[in-house]
Amino acid sequence: MGETSQATASSVRGGARRCSKPYKRRMSNGETERQRETTRMASETPGGVSGVQAMTNDVQAIVQLLKNSVVEKLNRPLHVYHAISYRSQVVAGQNYFIKVVIGDADDYIHMRVFQPLPSSDAKLSLEKIQTDKKLCDELEYF
């Protein structure tokens, strides 16, 4: 299985407190062995969550559409608001689990968004937000 190096995020990034989780050995495509296995299992399981994916214009547009809802839930203005990665899950529509930078260097949120099927009368909705996230926090189902 995957090996981990002994370096932590704080030691790799110049000593600033980041995350204490060890980095996992990366595959040639930049994916960890765990991410590759999770992606494989999700693709074989109906309703499974995909692996972490690089941001697309479509998902970034969804994040921008929901900015006012995020500002309202966080009860603060957001001068920085940019999604960097996401995971998706096919349900009766699409769930997105999105990592968004919202402030200084290591101020992130994870948001869960539901996009209904086009044939539905339902609208795009912000389901949940997890606050106090860091860049190295894994984007997981919540």
140 domain residue, yes or no: no
End-to-end alpha carbon distance in the chain: 26
What is the Cα–Cα distance from 2 to 27, expressed in whole angstroms?
A: 10
Average pLDDT over residues 20-47: 54
Q: How far is CA 21 from the centre of its chain?
A: 17
What is the Cα–Cα distance from 84 to 114, expressed in whole angstroms?
A: 18
Q: How many domains does the chain have?
A: 1
111 domain residue, yes or no: yes
125 domain residue, yes or no: yes
Residue 120 structural domain: 4-133
State pTM to two decimals.
Answer: 0.68
Each residue's pLDDT tens digit, 84-125 = 999 998 888 889 999 999 987 788 999 999 998 888 888 899
Q: What is the CATH number of the domain that holds 13?
A: 3.10.450.10
What is the Cα–Cα distance from 8 to 31, expressed in whole angstroms?
A: 17
138 domain residue, yes or no: no
142 domain residue, yes or no: no
Each residue's pLDDT tens digit, 35-74 = 555 555 544 456 778 888 888 899 999 999 999 999 999 9
